[in-house]
Chain A
């Protein structure tokens, strides 16, 4: 019976692509896998040679066009593209060229993964900008979602590589970064939905997307402190230094923002209190507990930094509650005026509505806001 079937099916061997079609398909696949290598930096040796091949690939024509524009415009277009948001004409230039070019200088897997985590945060901040500007459309959300999907996929791949290399500590740091970024951005996005009523029907989709990304966090395994290499005291010391730096950075940013209502300051004082508790635990050699506290302090201080950034970049005002707890409220602010233009009835993430006192912050869309301020204060310029 088997022979009979084989004979019948042998007729189907005639089904195949022509040689030309096969070669074309092969080229498409090679261009894709080279792109993966380029993006992942796994194939550095071929990088220079690839430019010749690069020009012959129609699918990469957009990137090449971007390069051409860069040369012809003396970099003006690329600079303009760096401020583009989903839906803008120059947005593909930003994501397909600017960011990819910048990423090609990250050589280690950990650096590449960190970069992808930062890009996740960037995509979410862009979503906030679009919502706040009243330009949120299904198309813009689709663009953001598709980019987020790619970043998450890349993170998963890098985490896989790091795990294989036994770099559990780096995986844990990545998870921390991703968690902070997702948590802060999710809180802002949830609140924006209340503030910007006209996009209420679309904003939930962004939140839904965030939820799926949050689930992806499980890809990074929790590092078992018991199993961590070196002694716990050494780990605690590193975590303490990291937490201290995050708190100091947050303090510098708060001071430079000149916030009238100092609920950010209250929140930071509370975090400093926690840091002190951690130090005491460290001194009495309760290293495991101290590490937990330092991690929590690091997350909270980093979140403050992200919230301040969003508050600065968007025409919104983000505040912590009077009690200094982690609850936040978001309210609307007039574009580029620094003056509140509507009754300040706001919704917190947890569904509470509060009246907030007026504060003034600028809302210009400057990029790398916090990095610049921190550099100035540290004298890096």
Chain B
């Protein structure tokens, strides 16, 4: 098998391994299933472009998260996020778009609390608990030292806990 073909097979394998977590990550961030799917697709396509241009990827998992995070930032920068109210005003019919995920009360409650955190704290909480990245993997995505990632994670957890305690 040619090196490129082998790389492609490996890459497709990485899709099977990471697609669920990446979709969860994107969905959590954009609250739109279709958009989340598009973001996942674009994440894999861009990563493949990078690989096929001869560049090295040390850790495919953290690389995918880094690409996805950049795409999400671009998505919000481009102002393509339209609020549900705005969509309703435009006559969008939610009855057909309703999804069991959106109806999950626990999801909404925790998501609201996380959304109250700063962008940095929110990000690190999502990576650790939603995506299941280890502190060293988070450090890799953020391009910082593992110790620094652990400190940031602890601070964010403390803040989230305080918010949860006030509700209980």
Cβ-based interface call for A15 (8 A): yes
Residues of B within 8 A of A2 (CB): 157
Tally of contact residues, B, Cβ under 8 A: 38
Asked whether, in the complex, the Cβ of A8 is within 8 Å of the Cβ of B110, the reply is: yes
Report the nearest A residue to B125, measured CB to CB: A5
Least Cβ–Cβ distance between B106 and chain A, in angstroms: 5
Asked whether, in the complex, the Cβ of B129 is within 8 Å of the Cβ of A5, the reply is: yes
If A26-B12, A29-B44, A33-B11 touch, whether A15 touches B24 (CB-CB below 8 Å) is yes
Cβ-based interface call for A42 (8 A): yes
Asked whether, in the complex, the Cβ of B19 is within 8 Å of the Cβ of A25, the reply is: yes
Least Cβ–Cβ distance between A379 and chain B, in angstroms: 41
Least Cβ–Cβ distance between A21 and chain B, in angstroms: 7
Q: How far is the CA of A264 from the CA of B160 in the complex (A)?
A: 73
Q: Which positions 16-57 of chain A face chain B at CB distance < 8 Å?
A: 16-17, 21-22, 25-26, 28-30, 32-33, 36-37, 40, 42-43, 45-46
Least Cβ–Cβ distance between A58 and chain B, in angstroms: 14
User: Which of A157-165, A269-277, A310-318 has 4 or more CB atoms under 8 Å from chain B?
Assistant: A157-165
Least Cβ–Cβ distance between A34 and chain B, in angstroms: 8
Asked whether, in the complex, the Cβ of A11 is within 8 Å of the Cβ of B55, the reply is: no
Asked whether, in the complex, the Cβ of A17 is within 8 Å of the Cβ of B37, the reply is: yes
Asked whether, in the complex, the Cβ of B8 is within 8 Å of the Cβ of A33, the reply is: yes
Asked whether, in the complex, the Cβ of B45 is within 8 Å of the Cβ of A37, the reply is: no
Q: How far is the CA of A2 from the CA of B15 in the complex (A)?
A: 28
Cβ-based interface call for B27 (8 A): yes
Cβ-based interface call for A9 (8 A): yes
Cβ-based interface call for A12 (8 A): yes
Least Cβ–Cβ distance between A156 and chain B, in angstroms: 8
Cβ-based interface call for A6 (8 A): yes
Residues of A within 8 A of B65 (CB): none
Q: How would residues 193 to 230 of chain A score, 1 for a CB under 8 Å from any chain B CB and 0 otherwise?
A: 00000000000000000000000000000000000000
Report the nearest B residue to A109, measured CB to CB: B54
Cβ-based interface call for B155 (8 A): no
Cβ-based interface call for A1 (8 A): yes
If A5-B160, A36-B45 touch, whether A26 touches B130 (CB-CB below 8 Å) is no
Asked whether, in the complex, the Cβ of A16 is within 8 Å of the Cβ of B23, the reply is: yes
Residues of A within 8 A of B5 (CB): 43, 45-46
If A1-B161, A5-B160, A37-B4 touch, whether A17 touches B53 (CB-CB below 8 Å) is no
Residues of B within 8 A of A12 (CB): 24, 28, 107, 110, 130
Q: How far is the CA of A13 from the CA of B40 in the complex (A)?
A: 17
Asked whether, in the complex, the Cβ of A33 is within 8 Å of the Cβ of B24, the reply is: no
Report the nearest A residue to B49, measured CB to CB: A36
Least Cβ–Cβ distance between A189 and chain B, in angstroms: 27
Q: How far is the CA of A160 from the CA of B12 in the complex (A)?
A: 23
Report the nearest A residue to B12, measured CB to CB: A30
Asked whether, in the complex, the Cβ of A22 is within 8 Å of the Cβ of B129, the reply is: no
| A2, A12, A17, A40 — most chain B CB neighbours (10 Å) | A12
Interface bracket on A:
35 or more
Q: How many A-B residue pairs have CB under 8 A?
A: 97
Q: How would residues 92 to 135 of chain B score, 1 for a CB under 8 Å from any chain A CB and 0 otherwise?
A: 00000000010010110010000000000000010011100000
Asked whether, in the complex, the Cβ of A22 is within 8 Å of the Cβ of B107, the reply is: no
Cβ-based interface call for B41 (8 A): yes
If A25-B37, A25-B41, A33-B8 touch, whether A17 touches B19 (CB-CB below 8 Å) is yes
Asked whether, in the complex, the Cβ of A36 is within 8 Å of the Cβ of B106, the reply is: no
Contact partner of B2 (CB less than 8 A), chosen from A28, A30, A45, A157, is A45
Asked whether, in the complex, the Cβ of A22 is within 8 Å of the Cβ of B19, the reply is: yes
Asked whether, in the complex, the Cβ of B24 is within 8 Å of the Cβ of A32, the reply is: no
Q: How would residues 135 to 163 of chain A score, 1 for a CB under 8 Å from any chain B CB and 0 otherwise?
A: 00000000000000000000001101100
Residues of B within 8 A of A33 (CB): 8, 11, 44-45, 48, 52
Residues of B within 8 A of A13 (CB): 24
Asked whether, in the complex, the Cβ of A11 is within 8 Å of the Cβ of B107, the reply is: yes
Least Cβ–Cβ distance between A107 and chain B, in angstroms: 14
Closest 9 CB pairs of A and B: A9-B129, A157-B53, A33-B48, A16-B20, A32-B45, A29-B44, A161-B54, A164-B54, A160-B53
Residues on B facing A (Cβ under 8 Å): 2, 4-5, 8, 11-12, 15-16, 19-20, 23-24, 27-28, 37, 40-41, 44-45, 48-49, 52-55, 101, 104, 106-107, 110, 125, 128-130, 157-158, 160-161
Q: A13-B24, A42-B4 are in contact. List 17 more A-B contacts (CB 8 A).
A: A4-B161, A5-B125, A5-B160, A9-B110, A9-B129, A12-B24, A12-B130, A15-B101, A16-B23, A16-B24, A22-B19, A26-B12, A29-B45, A42-B52, A43-B4, A157-B53, A164-B54
Residues on A facing B (Cβ under 8 Å): 1-2, 4-6, 8-9, 11-17, 21-22, 25-26, 28-30, 32-33, 36-37, 40, 42-43, 45-46, 157-158, 160-161, 164
